[in-house]
Amino acid sequence: MATWLMKVTVETRRSAATDQTVRCAYGATSNKAARPTVTLTPQNNKVTLVCGSKDHTEVQPRDYQTNYCADANVGTACKKEAYTTFIKDFKPEWWTKVEATQNVTLTLPPENFPVTAKSIHLECGYKSEGSRESQAEGSQASRPTVCVGGCGH
């Protein structure tokens, strides 16, 4: 009896933006390409970041409801700025969260759009199984990040 073997490689999915939703992925090669980018406009005024299981992921920066990363060094090393630096009447309540899947959605009222375009950076941080802390190892390129606005990365 002859036998035949076949090797099948299944690639990890990549972090990607579809419409106004960014889905983060955590495979070793999931985030090597340019980070997903979403652009908010008064007509498309909502962005959703889907991180995954609440037991293993978290949105970065942790105080994302009031602050964002002004640079691409998302996580604990980022240069944080308050949304109020470019949206005077910004309210944390514009963020909503689905706890089970770590989905967060920012809905920016059309009347509150800033006069000047601005880029904000957020990240889905992966928590290792033995720790409640955010992923600290690995390069920035291996961690899923998202840029909202004209990010150019």
| pLDDT for residue 146 | 56
pTM of the model: 0.77
Residue 144 has pLDDT above 70, yes or no: no
CA distance 64 to 137: 21
| pLDDT for residue 21 | 92
Quote the mean pLDDT of the chain.
Answer: 81
Residue 91 has pLDDT above 70, yes or no: yes
The whole domain housing 58 covers 16-148
Residue 58 has pLDDT above 50, yes or no: yes
- CA of residue 23 relative to chain centroid, distance: 8
Mean pLDDT for the stretch of residues 92-108: 91
pLDDT tier for residue 28 given thresholds of 50, 70 and 90: confident
Residue 102 within a domain: yes
Residue 3 within a domain: no
CA distance 85 to 59: 21
Residue 8 within a domain: no
The SS3 of residue 67 is strand
Residue 93 has pLDDT above 90, yes or no: yes
Residue 153 within a domain: no
pLDDT tier for residue 147 given thresholds of 50, 70 and 90: low
* Unique residue bearing structure tokens 């190892």: 137
CATH number at residue 34: 2.60.40.1320
Task: Determine how β-strand 21-23 pairs with β-strand 16-18.
Answer: antiparallel
